[in-house]
Amino acid sequence: MIPEQAKLEIIRKRQEGETWTAIAEWMEETTGITVHRSTIQRWYDKEGDYVEGGDSRLEKQVDTYKNEATHYKKLYEQAAEEINNHESLIELLYEVTEPFKEQDLVKVPQPQGKRGTEPQSVVAPLADTHIGDNVDYNQMSSLNAYTIDIFNARLYGWASQILDLVEYRRSFAEIPELVIPLLGDMVSGDIHQELRETNQDNTMGQMIRGANLIAQALMFMAPHFETIRVPCVVGNHGRMTQKPPAKDKYVNWDYMLYQWVAAFCREQSNIEFEIPKSFFHVFSVCNRNILIMHGDSLKGKAATGDVLRTLTNMRTVLQYRTGLEEEVSFNQDEDADFNDATFFDSAFMGHYHRVDEFDIGTGEAHICGCMKGGDEYALNQLSVISKPKQLVTYWHPKYGYIGKEIVYLNRYDGSSNRFIDSLPSVWIHRNT
C-alpha cells in the first residue's frame, strides 16, 4: 500500500527520471514502509499520473464532467421545452381547429310493454385500430387484409352496429349513456423498421386521418344518446421513442390523436372526453369503478395468472392512495387531470388482439379485441389469428356488468359505407 504522504513525492521523482528501484529505496528510508518497485509502478500506471507538468489530470476530468453536465443540462432543457411545446400545441388545437357542427339529438323511442325500471349504460371500447398498418392479403394466405380504407369501413360498421344493438335493447330498457374507452395503439406507428417501410402513411398522417375518422364516428352516434363519454389511455405503438418509456409516457401519437378528436368534437355538447397523462385511468359507470389501460404493462401473454397478478398489483397501487387522501387532496391542483379513485371493480384492456374475460372477484377483466385482426407478425409466429372484432358490454346500476356482445368487423370490408377520409391541405385557417 502506498502511503498518502508519499504519493506526490513519488510522482515528482518519477517525472524527474528516477528509477523504480531508487523510488522504492527512498520510500523505505523515509516512511519505514517496504513496497516492491513493481507495486509502486502499477500504482503509478493506474493512478499516479494525475499530475503532469503541474497540470492535474484530475482537474481535466473535472472539466470533462462539467462539460458533460452542461451537455445533459441542455438536453434536459431541450426535452422540457419539447414537452412545453407539446402542451402549447394541444392548447392551440382547441383554439384554432375548426370543429364539426353540432348534431341535434334525435327522439329516442321509449321501451314498450314489460321494461326495466332503471336505465342501463353501454360500454363499447375501441382498441388497437393500428391505423396506417398495411396487412397484405396475399402474404396472409387470404386470412386477413387491412388498410386505412378497410379501417374506415370497419369503423363505420362498428358504429352502425352499436346503434343497432342499442336500439334493440331499448325495447326493454332505457339507455341514455354510451361510454367508449379508447384503449391505445390507435396508430400503427414507426417503432419497428418494417412498419416504417410498409405503413400506408407516415405516423403524423395516421394520427390526423385517424382522428378525423374517429371523430366522425363519435358525431355519427352522438345524436342517439344523452351523453357519450370517451376516457382514453395511450398504447405502445404510438410512442415517440424507440424503447418503451416510463416518464412522459403520454408523449405519444395516441395522445395527440385523442386531443385532435376532442378538438373536432368540441361543439358537440353531449360528448365528454377524459384524456389523462397516466398510462391507466379509472372511470365510473353504473356505480362501478372501471380500470382501463392498454395492457402492455402485463408480463407474459395475458394468461389468467398474468392478468390476475397485474390487477392485484394495480389494486395495491390504488389502495396506497387511500392513506394519502388528505395529503393528495391538499396538494392537488384543481386543474390537474388527476384521478382520485382508490379502487376498481372491473377492467378493460387491449394490446392482445383477442376478446377474453377473466373473473377477478369484484367483477370482470376484459380483453377487448382488435380492429386490425391478424397480421403477418402473428402468422409468422404461428400465433392464433383472431378475427377483427370489438366488445360491447351492458351495465346496470344495481347488478353491474350484465352481458356483452362481440361485433365482428371483417363482414364490413366490402361495404360501400365510409366516413369521409379527406382533409384540406391546410388543416387550420387563421380565420377559424
Q: In whole angstroms, give the CA distance from residue 391 to residue 407.
A: 6
Q: State the CB neighbour count (10 A cutoff) for residue 354.
A: 18
At 52 the pLDDT is: 47
Q: In whole angstroms, give the CA distance from residue 429 to residue 402.
A: 47
Q: Which amino acid is located at 239 in the chain?
A: R
Give residue-wise pLDDT tens across range 146-191.
999 999 999 999 999 999 999 999 999 999 999 999 999 999 999 9
At 73 the pLDDT is: 56
Q: In whole angstroms, give the CA distance from residue 2 to residue 352.
A: 62
Helix (H, G, I), strand (E, B) or coil at 139: coil
62: its cell numbers: 473535472
Give the pLDDT band of residue 429 (cuts 50, 70, 90): low
| Rounded (5°) CA angle 180-186-191 | 155
Q: In whole angstroms, give the CA distance from residue 375 to residue 136.
A: 8
Contact 201, 151 (CB under 8 A): no
Q: CB under 8 Å to 213, separation ≥6 — which residues?
A: 131, 151, 152, 155, 419, 421
Sign of dihedral through CA atoms 296, 302, 305, 308? positive
At 331 the pLDDT is: 56
Return the domain boundaries, the chain: 4-53, 108-323+337-412
Looking at the DSSP assignment, which residues form a beta bridge with residue 290?
283, 346
In 3D space, the residue among 142, 129, 137 whose CA is nearest the CA of residue 189 turns out to be 129
Q: Residue 432 pLDDT > 50, yes or no? A: no
Give residue-wise pLDDT tens across range 332-388.
555 556 566 788 999 999 999 999 999 999 999 999 999 999 999 988 887 778 899
Lowest mean pLDDT across 20-29, 38-47, 201-210, 404-413: 38-47
Q: State the CB neighbour count (10 A cutoff) for residue 165.
A: 17
The CATH fold assigned to 108-323+337-412 is Purple Acid Phosphatase; chain A, domain 2 (3.60.21)
Q: State the CB neighbour count (10 A cutoff) for residue 207.
A: 26
- Average confidence (pLDDT) over 293-306: 84
Give residue-wise pLDDT tens across range 36-82.
888 888 888 877 655 444 445 555 555 655 565 566 556 555 655 55
Q: In whole angstroms, give the CA distance from residue 8 to residue 26.
A: 13
Looking at the DSSP assignment, which residues form a beta bridge with residue 285?
288
Looking at the DSSP assignment, which residues form a beta bridge with residue 359?
364
pLDDT: which is higher, 295 or 86: 295
Q: Which amino acid is located at 242 in the chain?
A: Q
Give residue-wise pLDDT tens across range 188-231.
999 999 999 999 999 999 999 999 999 999 999 999 999 999 99
| Rounded (5°) CA angle 409-414-416 | 105
Q: Residue 85 pLDDT > 70, yes or no? A: no
In 3D space, the residue among 279, 273, 248 whose CA is nearest the CA of residue 261 turns out to be 273
Give residue-wise pLDDT tens across range 303-344.
888 888 989 988 888 877 777 666 655 555 555 565 667 889
Residue given cell 513493481 in the structure block: 38
At 276 the pLDDT is: 94
User: Which range among 128-137, 236-245, 384-393 has the greatest average pLDDT?
Assistant: 128-137
Give the pLDDT band of residue 420 (cuts 50, 70, 90): very high
Q: In whole angstroms, give the CA distance from residue 123 to residue 126.
A: 10
- Please report the DSSP string for 368-422 in residue order: EEESS---HHHHHTT---PPSEEEEEEEETTTEEEEEEEEE-GGGTT--------
Q: CB under 8 Å to 428, separation ≥6 — which residues?
A: 96, 97, 98
At 10 the pLDDT is: 84
